[in-house]
């Protein structure tokens, strides 16, 4: 790359870099976030250089100790980042050289910024994924706890946002638990693919120097080495996979947020968030807005956009490293920040949500919701389902014309359209029976929801014991 002659990588260049290119090239304003990981990787690299004899043991020790001092400066916020040095790597290397002298210039032996940044982002994402995993598990636990408190509370289930069949509230909440469990599994799968150490790949072809990358891998807690140097410096699919996970997770959270917004509306009135998790209006004193849920819903677009950004950056790149890949960090950092902000908010809203069980039960007692159960009753009497469906539909039309609920029709009225219907159907169409009947695996019957709760608690306990992401 073209650079000022005074820069440590100037090489063949004698002219000054144009200011426009310099401004375009600078990444220190965002990649300084990688400093702790860059230092950890550099310390492991320095120890390895001493072990293989590429530097003396004393030089290795001085580099490791100097980097530790730089880490303290970074942690304190007092490190003087210099945009003229472009990025986090060169800022730290220059600071190390200023601190310990020419020995600092040996740190970059047998590595490139290409494999260096590949290592840094893996170390960063490994730590970030662990924190996100903890927050995600807490949200899943909150859903399970709230579902346990509402496992017998009736509410309407919806299709097309029209009342469809009654369910219990715990069943609805456990649907989100299942969705987020798959998200947790995706994050765990990513952790396994992150466990590959790229340092030693050099700029693209490896190095001819006698390094020991296995030592670096063990030092940094990686179980294996990258198997292809071109792939190690050119690929960002681990970042794409994380952003894909984040986008799917945020879409799931957006759907949860939408339900919270609906439930807390005056039209539904199924639930209420506490005042401290709601906001008012600058103009209308009576308003209580579920802004946390709305912002959670809105931020889904941000994370989906980050995925689209990096997919677009990577899609046309020739092998191997290209400077375009500098654009991988801002969408990554933004997605991590967003998830770490949104997940605790979601857990707080679920934990402190207060259901209006009376209103939910009233809505679940929709006068025509038992139509499916009427058809099921006829099927059990030997009526083909399509015919049973037709008979139940005609019964609904009749009940509507009489302004009656299905459960208020007499057996004689039912038999006009459903001649095979028996007297027991009058009880089968009442709300408790409607719920209890759906006791198949995954069904909404309270007994089935109890089984789902028990399985969820076992799964969460097992994850906690294993310490898995």
Helix (H) or strand (E) holding 445: none
Closest CA relative to residue 417, chosen from 461, 371, 358: 371
Report the greatest alpha carbon distance in the chain. 100
Return all residues near 30 (Cβ < 8 A) that are at least 6 apart. Answer: 329, 330, 333
- Cβ-contact 266, 348 below 8 angstroms: no
Burial 63-100 (b: 16+ CB within 10 A, else e): bbebbeebbeebeeeebebeeebbbbbbbbbbbbbebb
CB 278 within 8 A of CB 317: no
Q: Rounded to whole angstroms, what are the CA distances from 91 to 16, 44, 87, 203, 404?
A: 19, 18, 6, 19, 78
CA-CA distance, 178 to 286, in Å (whole number)?
37
The region that residue 382 occupies, defined by phi over 0 for left and psi between -120 and 50 for alpha, beta otherwise, is left
For every residue of 48-69, DSSP letters joined together read HHHHHTSS-HHHHHHHHHHHHH
CA 313 to chain centre: 21
CA distance 45 to 60: 9
Q: Given 29, 223, 265, 281, which residue is catalytic?
A: 281
Is 223 designated active site?
no
Residue 197 pairs with which residues in a beta bridge?
225
Q: CA angle, 224 as apex, 220 and 226 as ends, to 5°?
A: 100
Q: Which tokens belong to 404?
A: 């009656």
Tell me the C-alpha distance between 351 and 150, whole Å. Answer: 12
Alpha carbon 382 to chain centroid, angstroms: 48
Q: Does the annotation mark 281 as catalytic?
A: yes
C-beta separation of 260 from 293 below 8 A: yes
List the catalytic residue out of 160, 282, 401, 403: 160
Residues designated as active site: 160, 281
């Amino acid at each position: 790359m073209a650079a000022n002659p005074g820069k440590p990588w100037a090489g063949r260049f004698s002219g000054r870099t144009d200011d426009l290119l310099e401004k375009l090239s600078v990444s220190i304003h965002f990649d300084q976030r990688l400093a702790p990981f860059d230092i950890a990787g550099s310390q492991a690299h320095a120890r390895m250089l001493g072990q293989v004899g590429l530097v003396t043991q004393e030089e290795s020790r001085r580099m490791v100790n100097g980097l530790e001092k730089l880490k303290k400066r970074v942690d304190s916020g007092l490190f003087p980042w210099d945009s003229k040095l472009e990025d986090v790597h060169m800022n730290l290397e220059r600071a190390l050289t200023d601190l310990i002298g020419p020995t600092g210039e040996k740190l970059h032996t047998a590595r490139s910024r290409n494999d260096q940044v590949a290592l840094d982002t893996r170390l960063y994402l490994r730590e970030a994924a662990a924190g996100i995993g903890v927050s995600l598990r807490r949200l899943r636990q909150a859903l399970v706890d709230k579902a346990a408190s509402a496992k017998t509370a009736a509410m309407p289930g919806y299709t097309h946002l029209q009342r469809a069949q009654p369910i219990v509230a715990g069943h609805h909440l456990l649907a989100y638990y299942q969705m987020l469990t798959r998200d947790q599994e995706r994050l765990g799968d990513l952790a396994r693919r992150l466990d590959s150490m790229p340092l030693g790949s050099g700029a693209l072809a490896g190095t001819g120097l006698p390094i020991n990358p296995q030592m670096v891998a063990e030092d940094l807690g990686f179980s294996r080495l990258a198997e292809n140097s071109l792939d190690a410096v050119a690929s960002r699919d681990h970042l794409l996979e994380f952003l894909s996970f984040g986008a799917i997770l945020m879409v799931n959270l957006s759907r949860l947020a939408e339900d919270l917004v609906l439930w807390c509306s005056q039209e539904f009135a199924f639930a209420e968030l506490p005042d401290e998790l709601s906001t008012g209006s600058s103009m209308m004193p009576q308003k209580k807005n579920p802004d946390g849920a709305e912002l959670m819903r809105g931020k889904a677009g941000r994370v989906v956009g980050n995925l689209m950004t990096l997919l677009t950056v990577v899609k046309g790149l020739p092998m191997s490293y290209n400077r375009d890949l500098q654009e991988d960090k801002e969408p990554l950092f933004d997605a991590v920040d967003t998830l770490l902000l949104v997940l605790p908010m979601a857990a707080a809203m679920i934990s402190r949500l207060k259901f209006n069980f009376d209103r939910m039960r009233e809505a679940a007692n929709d006068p025509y919701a038992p139509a499916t159960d009427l058809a099921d009753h006829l099927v059990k009497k030997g009526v083909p389902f399509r015919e049973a469906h037709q008979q139940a539909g005609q019964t609904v039309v009749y009940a509507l014309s009489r302004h009656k609920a299905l459960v208020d029709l007499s057996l004689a009225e039912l038999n006009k359209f459903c001649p095979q219907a028996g007297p027991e159907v009058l009880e089968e169409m009442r709300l408790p029976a409607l719920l209890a009947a759906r006791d198949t695996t995954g069904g909404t019957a309270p007994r089935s929801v109890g089984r789902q709760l028990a399985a969820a608690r076992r799964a969460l306990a097992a994850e906690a014991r294993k310490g898995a992401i």
